[in-house]
Amino acid sequence: MSQALRQAHRTTTQRYFSDPLVGGIVWFVLFLFRILPVKAASSVGACLGQLLYYCSPKRNRVGRFNLMFAFPEKTDDERELILKKMWQHWGRTYAELPHGESLFKQADISGLSYLKEMAKQKKGCFVCSGHIGNFELAVTTNLFDDYCLNPVYRSANNPWLDKVLFQRRVGTLIPKGSQGAKKMIELLRNGKGVVMLCDQKLREGIDVLFFNKPAKTAPAIATVALKLNIPIFMARCIRLKNGQFKIDVYPLPISQNKDKNQAIYETMLSINQELEKWIRETPEQWLWIHRRFDKSEYN
């Protein structure tokens, strides 16, 4: 369902009361985080994240299932600790939203030369990441000069929340859906970079192994990259123990299989394998609380 259609389905109460109320509260909280020093804001965010852990039994149930799939060798206590740390990490991440530009400028970045070369050649490219670390940093400021990444995103049902959380991003926002796909291809053909988060379930996607289980995976990034003959770069932004961030950018080998469908599958498998490797290295920084696998797995 498109952004306009989803927002048109909002009830009168939602449109004129709950939506602006929620949007206003989130705006005010982010305003408070903005006026706090970044370390203080991050610490407060961690406390709020810890509170959400105790207030989210349904999401925690999903997280425990995912952790059990991913780390069957770990004990229940070890997996629960990862889940608790995840909530703290995401609390920090949202508290850091108003400080994104300064945090990006302080980050240790490797592989930015790949994107500079794309900009120099005026060649479009994909940057593939996931809901791990602080993925927002890459879309809060120009990466260099006037070059930015144009993010593909799912707009919030609440239009007020959409403005507060997503309209702050730089570049051209590309909503998911047919209209967004046209805009994405136009940007790529005009030599622009497009960033996509490739770690969530798409019901209409293809089955690709993820933590040794078939997972519905959106194949668009591989389909378009193969069609337009453009590169895919993997990128992650990991939180370090000292409060700084490490950003890694590197090329993903794209399948050269002559069978189109097989090439798409092999490319998406490579992406899932990279994401899985990242998650194993810093499991507390991935968003465990969404249903990544088939619904029947969670019964």
- pLDDT, one tens digit for every residue, the chain (299 residues): 555 555 667 888 888 889 999 999 999 999 999 999 999 999 999 999 999 999 999 999 999 999 999 999 999 999 999 999 999 999 999 999 999 999 998 999 999 999 999 999 999 999 999 999 998 888 888 888 888 899 999 888 898 988 898 888 888 899 988 889 999 999 999 999 999 999 999 889 999 999 999 999 999 999 999 999 999 999 999 999 888 999 999 999 999 999 999 999 999 999 999 999 999 999 999 999 999 998 888 87
* pLDDT recorded at residue 50: 97
Output the six-digit token pair for 227.
Answer: 């069609």
Output the six-digit token pair for 201.
Answer: 């379930």
* pLDDT recorded at residue 142: 85
Q: Residue 256: is it exposed, middle or buried by C-beta count within 10 angstroms (0-12/13-18/19+)?
A: exposed
On whether the CB atoms of residues 262 and 255 are closer than 8 A, the answer is yes
Can you tell me which residue has the tokens 């120009």?
142
CA-nearest of 162, 140, 173, 167 to 22 is: 162
Output the six-digit token pair for 288.
Answer: 């465990």
Q: Work out whether the CA dihedral 66, 69, 71, 75 comes out positive or negative.
A: positive
DSSP character string of 87-99: HHHHHHHHHTGGG
* pLDDT recorded at residue 242: 84
* pLDDT recorded at residue 215: 95
CA-nearest of 252, 231, 271, 238 to 117 is: 231
Strands (E), 145-192: 149-153, 174-175
Output the six-digit token pair for 102.
Answer: 């300064």
Helix/strand/coil for 51: helix
Secondary-structure percent of the chain, ordered helix, strand, coil, rounded to 5? 55, 20, 25
* pLDDT recorded at residue 296: 83
Output the six-digit token pair for 104.
Answer: 């990006």
Amino acid at 216: K
Contacts of 88 (CB under 8 A, 6+ apart): 46, 49, 50, 53, 284
- Nearest-10 Cα torsion for 129, 130, 136, 137: -40
How would you classify the pairing of strands 232-239 and 245-251? antiparallel
Q: Residue 36: is it exposed, middle or buried by C-beta count within 10 angstroms (0-12/13-18/19+)?
A: middle
* pLDDT recorded at residue 14: 83
Report the C-alpha gap between 56 and 46 in whole angstroms. 15
Contacts of 241 (CB under 8 A, 6+ apart): none
Question: What distance, in Å, lies between the first and last C-alpha atoms of the chain?
Answer: 26
Amino acid at 45: G
